[in-house]
Amino acid sequence: MRLSDIPDDVMEQIKEFISENKKKYPVTSSDPNITLVKKVEEKFGYKLSPQQIYSIAKGEQTVRVKLSIDTVKQLEKRYGSVGEGVKHIVKTMGKGFSEPPAILKPAIDEMKGKELTYSDMVKILADLKYSDPDRIIRELFQKGYAERKGDKFIVHDYAIDPQLKLIAMLYGL
């Protein structure tokens, strides 16, 4: 049974059940009738392996990803293993997926994904009733929500970490 085959609402119930009962029942035991594996099967009807129970308890999921050989070599060289490298990059990248500050949200919503000139940006911000469009544009760049592409500017609905941008450029991602 693959964990991805279990419906999301049932998976949430299984996670909750495991977290509540992981101290009561061992995952494996010489008596298979008192294990967490057996209790999950009895309650939810899904036969999971002990490794799957451990993964659910830790909040981890194994995902297979295809990478170029050069990327694999670079990750192994820099982080010791591909898995550790991917974890580090995702952790670094995750910082950029937080909600933008409330003052920037309307501006980002209006301009995201568009290639705009500086004067276009100022006009849009003035239409949105920002008193100081230059300060808002500066903040968008400082916080990583905007970038220059040639003679135009692009606003993203997520912040781009400068370290991540550098890694992506170096590794061709």
pLDDT score for 152: 92
- 146: in domain: yes
pLDDT tens for 94-131 read: 665 677 888 999 999 999 989 999 999 999 999 999 99
DSSP structure string for 25-84: S-SS-SSGGGSHHHHHHHHHS----HHHHHHHHHT---------HHHHHHHHHHHSSHHH
Name which of 152, 151, 142, 150 is nearest 111 in CA terms: 152
pLDDT score for 95: 60
CATH number of domain containing 151: 1.10.10
User: Which residue segment(s) compose the domain that 149 sits in?
Assistant: 101-156
pLDDT score for 128: 93
Considering its fold, how many domains does the chain have in total? 2
pLDDT higher for 92 or 116?
116
pLDDT score for 160: 77
Helix 8-21 to helix 50-58 angle, to the nearest 10 degrees?
Answer: 90
What DSSP state is assigned to residue 160?
P
Q: Is the pLDDT of residue 71 over 80?
A: yes
Written as six digits, the tokens of 149 are 């592409």
